[in-house]
Structure 1
């Protein structure tokens, strides 16, 4: 990827971080969007994003647990978010998710 000549690597990192924070804020503002919906549409969810954050920390020698990484995205402990905002997933969505996962297998 070629960045505009006037953007430094430090600025790119800051822009990437700002976009991540905006994505997290957007997800927080749309708690009605369930993780299964995100998985069906985009093949990632809040859990994935939290896991990626934890993996980025590990790459930098920072010890972050899975729950801590996910809490960064959820804005609260994942179990608390689940209890407050997660709805029951329909059998149709579960079937669609399983089909999507099966389609990815070689």
Structure 2
């Protein structure tokens, strides 16, 4: 691994995160269930991870606020504009692939 100081590493990780979020905001055609089925995470997971990090740092943020950071708008608005009903095939793939606790 490259010899990168901690501050630079954090800046690079933040830049990569911002680019990922920007990409996901543009790719509204990609449904969360498809992301879950293929990669095991989705926009909601990413917003939950963001919320977890905020909580660890004592930053006042709630679930909806974290989702708005990832989606670029209130989650309810994004769902109304972009979310399609999951097909039976998508739902079956999700049930097969998701971790069972």
Normalised by the length of structure 1, the TM-score is 0.91
Matching residue of 1:61: 58
Matching residue of 1:8: 5
- Following the alignment from structure 1 to structure 2, what is the Cα–Cα distance between the partners of residues 28 and 35? 12
User: Larger Cα Rg: Structure 1 or Structure 2?
Assistant: 1
Task: Find the residue that maps to 1:19 and give its secondary structure.
Answer: helix
Q: How does 1:80-95 map to 2 (within 5 A)?
A: 80-95=77-92
Task: Find the residue that maps to 2:38 and give its secondary structure.
Answer: helix
Normalised by the length of structure 2, the TM-score is 0.95
- Following the alignment from structure 1 to structure 2, what is the Cα–Cα distance between the partners of residues 47 and 4? 31
Aligned length: 101
Alignment of 1:70 with 2:67, yes or no, is: yes
Gaps of 5+ in 1: none
The list of structure 1 runs, each at least 4 consecutive aligned residues, that deviate by more than 3 angstroms after superposition, is none
Kindly state the Cα deviation for residue 98 of structure 1 after the two structures are TM-superposed. 0.6
Q: Which has the higher contact order (CA 8 A, sep 6+)?
A: 2
Instruction: Output the aligned Cα RMSD.
Output: 1.1
The one of 49, 53, 58 equivalent to 1:52 is 49
Gaps of 5+ in 2: none
